[in-house]
Structure 1
Amino acid sequence: MAEAIHWYGAVSGIILAIILILKKVNPTYSLIIGAIAGALIGGSDLAETVSVLITGAQSVMGTVIRVLAAGIFAGIMMESGAAVSIARTIVNKLGSKFAIAALVLATMIITGVGVFIPVAVLIVSPIAMEVGKETGISKLALLLAMSGGGKAGNIVSPNPNTIAAAGGFDVSLSSVMMYGFVPAVFGVLMAILLANLIKNKGPKVAESDFESGSDDKEYPSFGKALVAPIVAIILLMLQPIAQLLNITSLANFALDSMYVLPIAGLIGLLAMKQSNQTLSYMSIGLEKMTPTVLILIGAGAIGGVITASDLSVQVVNLIKQSGISGTLLAPIAGILMGGATASTSTGAILASGSFGQAILDMGVAPVSAAVMVHTGATVIDHLPHGTYFHVTGNAMKLSMKERMQIVGYESLVGLTMTIVATIVYGFIF
C-alpha cells in the first residue's frame, strides 16, 4: 500500500494545501484536503487513502500530548502576570540608554520561557510604547526589536514549534533548545543592530497610541516570576548535562517535557501564591494550544501521504544530481514551509513531517536537522497572509503599509539564525 503513492501525488497534496492556506481556508482542513487529494492523485484508492491519513495522524500523537502539556505552563506564565513582570524588570534595569537591547532581550526571554511569540509581542508592546514615548525611537524600530527578539527566543523555547521539530526527528526537546542557543545569540545581535539602524525611520509614538484606563493588576515579583522557567530549564537540561559529564545514573533518568512543563508551571504558581487559579490557567492554556494541536493532526495526515510515497527518494536523487549539498535541504524546507504557511509552528511541523526522512537520508544528524529546519521556519514566517503580521502591527498601531516596511528586516534576523545554524551544525559539527 505504502509504495502505491507516487511522488507527484505527495507534491500535489502539499501544493494544494498551501494554496488553500493562502486562500484563508482553515489550516487543518487545508492540510487534510491536501492529504486526501495527494493520496488519490498519487495512485492510492479510497480505502488506502483513509489508512494512510490515519497512520500519519497517529504518528504525531506524541507531539500532540507534549503540546497539550506545554499549554499548562504557557497558560500559567501568561495569565499569572509572570511574563509581564519579567519584561518590565528587564526594560527598567537596562534603562533608556539600552532601550532597544532591553526590548529585544525582554521579548526573547518571554518567548524563550514558553509564551507564544505573538502573545509575547502583545505583552511587551505596551512597555515598548512607553519606551518610544520617552526616547523618541520609532514604532518600526520598536516592533523590529520585539519581533527579532521573539524569533530568537522561539528557537530555544518549549513552544509547539520546538516540540514539533524535536518530535519530527525523534530527538529530545532539550537538545533542540540547547542547540538553538548559538543561532539565537546571533539573532539577538542582528535584531539589536537592525533596530538601531532604523530607530529614526517611520512614525513615532504619539499620545493617541495609548489606551485610556489604568492597569491596576498586581504582578508577581521578578524572582517569583522566574521560578517556573528556571525549574523547567533545570529539569529539561538535566539529562543532556549528565550525558556530557558522563554521569550514567542521572543520564538514564529521562525527563520528558510532557511532565516537566506542567510540574514547573505548578511549582511556579505555588511560588507566586496563585494556586487558587490553577484550574482557570490550565483551561486558558489548553485553549491557546488547541489550534496548534488541530494543525498537528492535519500535518500528520499529509505527512503520512509523503511517508507512504517515494518523494524522499526522488528528492535525495535530485539533490545528488544537482551537486548541491544535501545539508541545505533542511533549512530550505523550513524556509519554504514557514513562508507558505506564515507560521513558525506550522512551518516546522510541515517541513519536518514532509521532508524529514529525505533530510536524514542525506546523512544529516537528527538534532542538526531539527535545528536547521526550525531556524529556517523563522525566515519568512511573518508574511501578511499569517496572523502574526496583523497582530503585531495592530499592537503598535501601525498601518499595513507601515508594517510592511520591516518585513525585510525581520527576514534578515531569521536568515542570520538559519545561516549560523547551517554553518555550525550542518558543516562544522
Structure 2
Amino acid sequence: MEFELSWIGALCGLALAIILILFKLTPTYSLILGAVVGAFIGEANFTETVTVLITGIQSVMGTVIRIIAAGVFAGVMMKSGAAERIAQFIVDKLGGTKAMLSLALATMIITAVGVFIPVAVLIVAPIALSVGNKMGYSKIALLVALSGGGKAGNIISPNPNTIAAAGGFGLDVNQVMIGGFIPAVFGIIVAVILASSIKFKGTKVTDEEAKELEKDNSNLPTLSRSLVTPIIAIVLLMISPIGAIAGSDFLASLKIDSLFILPFAGVIGTLALGKRKDLLDFCQSGLNRMTPTILIIIGAGAIGGLITASDLPAQVVALIDSAGISGTFLAPIAGILMAAATASTSTGVILATGSFGDAILDTGVSAIAAAVMTHAGATVIDSLPHGTYFHVTRNAFNISMKDRMKVVGYEVIVGLTMTIIATVLYGFIL
C-alpha cells in the first residue's frame, strides 16, 4: 500500500473491536467494524479503507484453507468415536491411584491429535466424573486436570490455533507443534500437581450424577482402528523434522504441507474404521466445527490489515526500546492480552500474530520463537466468562459460577507456566 495510516486510528480500531466482542457482538463483525472505524480515524478515505480490508483478509487466506482442510481430520476424530475410545483406554490403563494423571493425559492426547479443547473436555468429562465419584474427588479438581491437560495438548496439536500461529510467522505447522512440546510437558505436570493438591476440596460428584453419565461404549471403534488417523498425521507431519535430524536431505526437503496431510489422514482413517459411507458426514461435521474459526480469521485479517497499514508496529517497537524492555516479551504479552480480550486461544493467536506479528519480528526474535511464545501466551487467560469455553466446561461438570471462577485461577497458573518455559527456552536459551 502506498499510504500509511496513523497509529491512533489502528489503536482505536483494535480497542473498538475488543470492546464490541466483550459486549457479545459476533467477533467477525466486531473485528471488521473495528477495522473500518479505525481506518477512517487514521485518515483513510473510502477507497483506501476498502484496500486495507481486502489486503488484510487476503493475507490470512493461506491459514483459512489449511483450517478448512483440517476439518476432515477433526471431523473423523470427533464424530467417529475414535477420540473417545483413545481417552477411555488411557484412563482404564492408568486409572486408580494415578487418576488425575490419567485424566489430564487423556485430555492432552485427545487435544494433541486434533480435537478442539472444548470437545476434548466434553469427551473426557463423563469418564472424569465417574472416576471422581468412585474416588471421592471434587469437581473443581477434576476440571483443573482436564482443562490443564487440554491446554498442554492444544499447543502441540494441528488445531486452528497452531495453524494460525504457524501461518502468522510463515512456518510449517509441525515446527510450532514440536516447539510447544517442552512447555506442554511442564504444563501437564503443573496441572496434575494442582489438581492433586485440591482433589478433596469442593463439591463432590453425586451417585445420581455418575449414574446419569453411564453410557454404552460397545459401539465405539477398537483402539487399533482409532489410532490410525492420528498416527498417519503425526508420521507425515514429522517426516521433514526427522529428515533434518537424521541428515537426510531428501526427507528434510520433502515438506508436505498440513493442507494435504490432515485430510489424507482423515480419509485413510475413515477407511480403517470401516466407516467409508460416513466420510461425507464426517467432513460436514468437521467443516461445521471449523466455520466459526474461519469467520473469526477473516475478521482478524481485516484488523491485521489496518494495523499493518499503520505505523503502530513501529511505535510499539520504539516504545519497547525506550523502556529498556527486552523485545522478546512482546510475543507472549501479545498472546496473553489478545486471548484475554477474546476469551479464546485461537482468536487470541490470530489477533496477536495478525496485529503484532511484524512488530514482534522487528525486535529481532526468530519466527519459531515468536510463534511458540505467542501461542503459549494465548493459553494464560483464555477461559474467561465472555468466551464459550468457560460455559461449555461449566455445564459439562454442572458446577456453579463461583466454582468455575476458582478453576480459572488454576488454569492461569498452567498457562503461565507454559508461557514462562517457552519464553525462557526460545527467548533466551535457543
TM-score (norm 2): 0.98
User: Match of 1:361?
Assistant: 362
User: Match of 2:229?
Assistant: 228
Q: CA deviation at 1:217?
A: 5.5
Q: CA deviation at 1:116?
A: 0.4
Aligned residue identity for 2:221: P
- Residues 126 and 213 of structure 2 are in contact (CA less than 8 Å); yes or no, is this contact kept in structure 1? no
Q: How is 1:196-345 mapped onto 2 (pairs within 5 angstroms)?
A: 196-210=196-210, 211=212, 214-215=215-216, 218-345=219-346
User: Match of 2:119?
Assistant: 119
Aligned residue identity for 2:134: E
**Partner Cα distance (1:361, 1:188) in 2:** 32
Which deviates the most, 397-406 or 188-197?
397-406
- Residues 3 and 310 of structure 1 are in contact (CA less than 8 Å); yes or no, is this contact kept in structure 2? no
Aligned residue identity for 2:354: G
- Residues 31 and 302 of structure 1 are in contact (CA less than 8 Å); yes or no, is this contact kept in structure 2? yes
- Residues 2 and 308 of structure 1 are in contact (CA less than 8 Å); yes or no, is this contact kept in structure 2? no
Q: How is 1:18-417 mapped onto 2 (pairs within 5 angstroms)?
A: 18-210=18-210, 211=212, 214-215=215-216, 218-417=219-418
User: Match of 1:14?
Assistant: 14
**Partner Cα distance (1:213, 1:368) in 2:** 44
Q: Percent identity?
A: 62
CA RMSD of aligned residues (A): 1.0
Q: CA deviation at 1:417?
A: 0.1
- Residues 187 and 413 of structure 1 are in contact (CA less than 8 Å); yes or no, is this contact kept in structure 2? yes
- Residues 130 and 213 of structure 2 are in contact (CA less than 8 Å); yes or no, is this contact kept in structure 1? no
Q: CA deviation at 1:213?
A: 7.2
Aligned-partner SS, 2:134: helix
Aligned residue identity for 1:253: L
Aligned residue identity for 2:136: G
**Partner Cα distance (1:57, 1:17) in 2:** 16
**Partner Cα distance (2:251, 2:302) in 1:** 37
Aligned residue identity for 2:257: D
Q: CA deviation at 1:208?
A: 3.1
Q: CA deviation at 1:326?
A: 0.3
Aligned-partner SS, 2:289: helix
**Partner Cα distance (2:383, 2:250) in 1:** 44
**Partner Cα distance (1:27, 1:426) in 2:** 31
Q: CA deviation at 1:216?
A: 5.6
**Partner Cα distance (1:80, 1:398) in 2:** 29
What stretches of structure 1 move > 6 A for 4+ residues in a row? Answer: none
Q: Which runs of 5+ in 2 are unaligned?
A: none
Structure 1, residues 182-241: CA drift from partner, whole Å, max 9, x if none? 000000000000001110111000123243774366111112111111110110110122
**Partner Cα distance (1:359, 1:337) in 2:** 14
Which deviates the most, 416-425 or 252-261?
252-261
Q: CA deviation at 1:4?
A: 2.9
- Residues 383 and 408 of structure 2 are in contact (CA less than 8 Å); yes or no, is this contact kept in structure 1? yes
Q: CA deviation at 1:153?
A: 0.2
Aligned residue identity for 1:157: S
